[in-house]
Amino acid sequence: MTLAKQALLLPFALLAMLLPTLTGCEKRTPGTPLITSIWTADPSAHVFAGKLYIYPSHDLEKNKAYKGDGDQYDMEDYHVLSLKSPSANAIDTGEALNMKDVPWAGSQMWAPDAATKNGTYYLYFPAKDKDGIFRIGVASATTPTGPFKANATPIEGSFSMDPAVLVDTDGSAYMVFGGLWGGQLERWQTGTYDTAGQAPTGAANALGPRIAKLDGTMTAFDGPVSEISIVDASGKPLRASDERRRFFEGAWLHKYKGKYYLSYSTGTSHLLAYATSDTVMGPYTFQGTILDPVAGWTTHHSIVEWKGKWYLFYHDASLSKKDNLRTVKMAELFYEKDGTIRKVTPNKAPVK
């Protein structure tokens, strides 16, 4: 081919390369990370004004010795990711909040979530306070990507970690939260913080996630915190020894066809499981597993509807091979006709 012909064809070749990006029709190989420029975990996804935003934890690589009691998840800030189409790579929109700007926080900025009301965006996040006790804070912004300004004190009455907020169809907002072990939930069984608090064992009822209604300001609880009961098909609360079904951490609430779905990580058995209820406060009846164990100790997710399809956002540690350096991923999620969720097999689930 002559040089003149090559020059003529160049614009067409460039257009063919750029077309998938321009039209949003590019395909991502199933199971590949949404972003690799930073380590990300605990993806809480939301659609705000038609665009998808992910509020993940930002895992950090540090040259430090850890005790391994959860302190290896040693995060200090949040970045918001945005996605322009389900198959596009995520874009890091930059730092949205840093621990140095949170007056009460001392360490471990863990899994956050976000919500919006009347044009303000709220970022909910757990962190250990200066006494080493997990609390849940809130920060606000005028855009979904921040920067967020943190309130001076944590939400009154909050404790433990992994907040997730559901804004219900009538506009009421609810926060579910809590997590065992590193998340300290077992230390709150008496209503006050007790360092000696131990998780129930054996046939005792498992601890449930906590739920509180948010008031109109979206920055405070509107009433007491309750424990959610997760029961089996016969209505019996799940037992502490039932590690493949009982709650451990990472609760998420969504609504599908008028039913409430509470999904969560089972921790020690590394599953994502779910339960359903006709009322937001529960009790929730256990339904099944959404995702089998992924690479790494933790598993954490969110579920969101976008452009008429449902998606599971999750993370794994397959890229770093280190539990505390994770990458967020997504897979399409399907409901059966009876409302049960079809188990996701991420390496086979195409994202179109």
Q: Is residue 250 a contact point for ligand FUB (CB under 6 A)?
A: yes
Q: Is residue 41 a contact point for ligand FUB (CB under 6 A)?
A: yes
Q: Is residue 175 a contact point for ligand FUB (CB under 6 A)?
A: no
Catalytic residue among 26, 42, 156, 232: 42
Tell me, yes or no, if 305 is annotated catalytic.
no
102, 115, 161, 212: residue in contact with ligand FUB (rule CB under 6 A): 161
For 295, phi then psi, to 5°, come to -65, 130
Q: Is residue 162 a contact point for ligand FUB (CB under 6 A)?
A: yes
| Residue in the structure block whose two tokens are 């609360």 | 237
Residue 59: CB minimum distance to ligand FUB, A: 7
Q: Are 38 and 58 in contact (CB under 8 A)?
A: yes
CA–CA–CA angle 323, 324, 330 (5° rounding): 80
Residues 181-240 that bind ligand FUB (CB under 6 A): none
Distance CA 297, CA 320 (A): 13
Tell me, yes or no, if 292 is annotated catalytic.
no
Q: Is residue 79 a contact point for ligand FUB (CB under 6 A)?
A: no
Number of helices and strands (H, E) in the chain? Answer: 1, 21
44, 52, 55, 57: residue in contact with ligand FUB (rule CB under 6 A): 57
Q: Is residue 73 a contact point for ligand FUB (CB under 6 A)?
A: yes
Q: Is residue 249 a contact point for ligand FUB (CB under 6 A)?
A: yes
Q: Are 114 and 144 in contact (CB under 8 A)?
A: yes
Instruction: Compare residues 161 and 214 and give the one whose CB is closer to ligand FUB.
Output: 161
Q: Is residue 274 a contact point for ligand FUB (CB under 6 A)?
A: no
Residue 296: CB minimum distance to ligand FUB, A: 9
Instruction: Compare residues 179 and 209 and give the one whose CB is closer to ligand FUB.
Output: 179
79, 135, 300, 329: residue in contact with ligand FUB (rule CB under 6 A): 300
Q: Are strands 284-291 and 230-231 parallel, antiparallel or unpaired?
A: parallel
Q: Is residue 110 a contact point for ligand FUB (CB under 6 A)?
A: yes
- Hey, which residues does 57 pair with through a beta bridge? 41
Catalytic residue among 69, 249, 292, 305: 249
Burial of 8 by CB count in 10 Å (0-12 exposed, 13-18 middle, 19+ buried)?
Answer: exposed
Residue 299: CB minimum distance to ligand FUB, A: 7
Residue 70: CB minimum distance to ligand FUB, A: 7
Give the DSSP per-residue string, 259-328: EEEEEEE-GGG--EEEEEESSTT--EEEEEEEE---SSS---EEEEEETTEEEEEEEE-TTT-STTS-EE
Q: Are 229 and 275 in contact (CB under 8 A)?
A: no
Residue 314: CB minimum distance to ligand FUB, A: 10
Distance CA 218, CA 24 (A): 34
Distance CA 71, CA 270 (A): 19
User: Which residues of this protein are in contact with ligand FUB, per CB under 6 A?
Assistant: 41-42, 57, 73, 110-111, 161-162, 179, 249-250, 298, 300
Please list the active-site residues: 42, 249
